[in-house]
């Protein structure tokens, strides 16, 4: 997997946006995480989400089911991954 990142702060004094890249979330699953978090009115929220979202995803019940060793079809994998992301953001 190849990727590149670029930030441009424009006329602002500091960069408040944050990003997270995890090229491989699990060795047995072709899943990556790319997150861009907008820090429009400061960096507190964007820093917090950047630091908390991947650990929350990895603790989500649907994620644990997905990587628990049972074989799933592509549609079921997509459904579980979608559920895990929702669970992570609610956590």
Q: Model confidence over 17-62: pLDDT tens digits?
A: 999 999 999 988 888 999 999 888 888 999 999 999 999 999 999 9
Both tokens of 86, joined, read 């929702």
User: Closest Cα to residue 21, out of 8, 4, 39, 9?
Assistant: 4
What is the reported pTM?
0.85
Asked which of 11-20, 46-55, 70-79 is least confident by mean pLDDT, the reply is 11-20
**Could you tell me the two tokens for 74?**
């592509």
Distance of CA 83 to the CA centre of its chain: 13
């Amino acid at each position: 997997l190849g990727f590149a990142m670029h930030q441009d702060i424009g006329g602002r004094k500091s960069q408040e946006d944050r990003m997270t890249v995890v090229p491989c979330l699990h060795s047995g699953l072709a899943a990556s995480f790319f997150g861009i978090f907008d820090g429009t009115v400061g960096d507190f929220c964007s820093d917090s989400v950047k630091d908390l979202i991947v650990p929350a995803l990895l603790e989500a019940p649907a994620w644990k089911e997905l990587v628990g060793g049972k074989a799933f079809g592509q549609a079921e994998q997509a459904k579980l991954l979608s559920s895990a992301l929702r669970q992570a953001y609610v956590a």
